[in-house]
Amino acid sequence: MSAILRAVLIGWLAAICGMTAVAPAFGKMRPQEAAEEAAKRRPMAFFLAKGAPNACGEGCREWIAAEGVFDAGSGERLKAFLAELKRNDLPLFFNSPGGSVSQSIAVGTLLRARRMTVGIGRTRPDACEPGMSEDACFAVMKSGSEHQARLIVARARCYSACTYAFLGGSNRTVGRGALIGVHSAFPRAGVPDEVRGRSVVDSAHATLRRYALAMGVDSGLVDLAARTRPERMHRLTAEEIAHFGIETQDFYETGWVPVRQTPERYVLQKSVTQRTSSSPAEHLTSLVQIGCAAGARPARPTSYVAYRRELPLGRPNLQTSVRATFGEYALPFSRRVIRNAVETGYATARPAVLEQAAAIPNIAVVEIELSANGAPTDSRELKLSTQGLNEPLAELRKRCHLSKLTRVGASAGLVELPR
């Protein structure tokens, strides 16, 4: 896992430690109690499944099964399993009622670092005899790291916390008949409802919004989850799956989202996911951020534009020249770092640039690939819609006059991206 992703993950886990989301179960038990009981009975199991030709799609007969509840060790178990398997080319299929939100994010972040493909499907080992109980079949799954099996998409489910692990896939498919659902997170039994005067549930949802955006998914998905009581389940429709960008598309961009990173730092973010023309094709996500940073004179903070973009795993050190164009203003990203196939860049901007952003239909990000000697070899332009940007941009311009702002990238000149 890259240093950037590891830092991001640590921030996320610290923010939502103790948060749970699991499908309602176990009769009249409270959600917290039901979640803990489910995790004890069926902790997440990962294993290699082998089936008939085309069992997991055209040309696919092997896949990774993820069955059970996201418990405290899920992230580390998947990491160990993938390290032993030594393959990132197999799709992973979830069938889970939910569980620990922090562990689902740990799993999702690991999947994204490896650019893996995910789907929703029940894996039924051949050793699970007809009429065998679900608990007995789950014991079979845990008995080995590899099974001959069938993949069943109809009525397979990825509920609650599982949804956030699913978002970590670079290529995401919700098969016909598969179910994906969300509801509000809730504290684990024994965890206080508030920390330092702020609701831990609200903090968890704020973290999940930033995570969704970084994964290239509209954060409105988390708003929908937050409006759904923990004891209920909102099953997403095909229209909602497409609207939020849950299933990857050739091109998808979120709306602009205002994010309050600290009491002093207010930024605007948007992410774009695009399918590459390479073979095999990848879906790569770029995130753009507009904000303010303390300059040499803290009383007059500087506007900045930053971005974080995923590079193809086959070309992790791809050299490019990148600039953002705001109408007549072009901002070259001169401060850039590439680590483990993720590039982060930063450019300062005059206040006039922010004013221009409110008056143009789109912001263009131009990426020019360079050869070893610096000659241009290829180029790509991303056009980011400015629809919905006016109101949050006006708020940002007001906040840019604050006298106390956290300095951005004091050591490397880089903005700290979502965590």
Which H/E stretch holds residue 79?
helix 74-85
- CB contact set of 264 (below 8 Å; sequence gap of 6+): 402, 404, 405, 406
Quick check: 180 and 174 in contact, CB under 8 A? yes
Give the phi and the psi of residue 18 in degrees, each rounded to 5. Answer: 90, 0
Per-residue confidence (pLDDT) for residue 228, from 0 to 100: 95
Question: Tens digit of pLDDT for each residue in 112-157?
Answer: 999 999 999 999 999 999 989 989 999 999 999 999 999 999 999 9
3-248 matches 257-399 in fold: no
Instruction: Quote the pLDDT of residue 312.
Output: 84
Residue 225: its pLDDT value, please? 97
Give the chain's radius of gyration (CA, Å): 22
Which pTM value belongs to this model? 0.86
Cis peptide upstream of residue 230 (ω within 30 degrees of 0): no
The DSSP output letter for 276 is -
Mean pLDDT by 10 residues, the chain (419 residues): 38 47 52 61 94 96 97 95 93 96 96 96 96 92 95 96 97 96 82 64 90 96 96 96 97 91 79 87 92 61 85 77 87 84 87 80 89 83 90 82 43 34
Q: Is residue 186 within 8 Å of 20, Cβ to Cβ?
A: yes
Domain ranges of the chain: 3-248, 257-399
The H or E element that residue 349 is part of is strand 342-349
Q: Which CATH superfamily is domain 3-248 in?
A: 2-enoyl-CoA Hydratase; Chain A, domain 1 (3.90.226.10)
Q: What is the pLDDT of residue 7?
A: 38
Residue 169: what pLDDT? 97
Strand partners, 123: 151
Strand partners, 62: 50
Does residue 67 sit in helix, strand or coil? strand
In a 3-state reduction of DSSP, which class is residue 281? coil
Q: What distances in angstroms separate CA 33 from CA 77, 102, 190, one per listed residue?
A: 24, 18, 10
Between helix 3-16 and helix 101-113 the angle, nearest 10°, is: 170
CATH class held by domain 257-399: mainly beta
pLDDT of amino acid 339: 85
